[in-house]
Structure 1
C-alpha cells in the first residue's frame, strides 16, 4: 500500500514546516550507513541547526566500524520518530551527505552540539576517548504521521 492508500486510515504526509518543527523537538534517531553485507544501523543523538543540518558527535577511536563507514559513505539516511500509541506517531526520514567538522569549527556550532542528548556513559568516555563531530546535510526529507483515532472510534459518539 502507498501512503495515499493509507490516508483513509488517518495516515498523512507531513508538510515541510511540520517536519522541521518535529526534528527540532527530537534528540535521538537511527543513523543508517551503507556497508558491504547490510546497512549498518546505529542509534544516535544529534543537534539540529533549525534549517537542514544535523550534527553527530562520535566518541571512540578511529578503528570503530561506525567511523570507518561514515568516512567512506557518499549518502546516508537518518530516521527520527516518536510513538505515543498505535494511533499517535510521527516519523521523519532524512537522506543526505556527511562530512567531518574540523575541530577549529566546533566553537561556532557549540550551541547546536549542546542540544544533543547523550547518555552518561558517553559523557564520561568523552574525557578519555577521541571525539569527532560530523555534519549531516539533509538533501531530502520525508515525513509521515498518524494522529487520529482508532478505526471505528467516533469522537462525537463517545461524548454522548
Structure 2
C-alpha cells in the first residue's frame, strides 16, 4: 500500500522541520551499505549538525568490513526510527554519501558529536586509536509517522 492509501489509518508524512527535530532527538540509527552478496546493515550511533550532515564514529579492527564497504560505496542509506506502540511510531530514511573526516577536523565536530550515544567500548578503542569518523552528507530525506488508533479503535467507539 502507498502512503496515500494508509493515511486513513493514521499514517502521515513528516515535514522537513519534523525530520530535523526527529533526527536531533535521536542518537542511534541503522546504516546500510552496498555489500557483495547483499546489503551490509549495522546499528550505529550518530551526531547531527541540525541541517544536512550526520557524523558517524566507527570502531575498527585489523581488517574492517565496515570501513572497506564505506570506502567503496557510492551511496548509503541511514534509517532512524522509534516505536512507542503499534499505533505510535516514527521513522526517517536518509540517502547520501559517506566521506572520512580528517582527524585534524575532529575537534571542530565536538558541538555535533558530544550528544551521540556511544557504547562503553569506545573509550578503550579511542585509547588504541582504532577509530575513524565519517560524515554522512544527506542528499535525500523522507519520514513517516503513525500516531493514534486506527478507525474503529478510537476511545469511546464500540468494536
Fold shared by both chains (TM-score > 0.5): yes
Aligned to 1:153: 153
Number of equivalences: 158
**Shift in Å at residue 129 of structure 1?**
4.2
Instruction: Give the Cα separation in 1 of the matches to 2:100 and 2:45.
Output: 16
| Residue aligning to 2:60 | 60
Task: Identify, as 1 or 2, the structure richer in helix.
Answer: 1
1:9-158 map, 5 Å: 9-61=9-61, 63-155=63-155
1:74-111 per-residue CA deviation (whole Å, 9 max, x = no partner) reads 10000000000000000000000110000111111112
Q: TM-score, normalised by structure 1?
A: 0.93
- Tell me whether 115-124 or 28-37 shows the greater mean CA deviation: 115-124
Q: Aligned partners of 1:157 and 1:2: how far apart in 2?
A: 27
**TM superposition score normalised by structure 2:** 0.94
Q: Specify every segment of 5 or more residues in structure 1 that has no aligned partner in the other structure, as ranges.
A: none
Q: Which runs of 4+ in 1 moved over 4 A?
A: none
Q: Shift of the alpha carbon at 1:156? A: 5.3
- Measure the CA separation in 1 of the matches of 2:64 and 2:103: 19
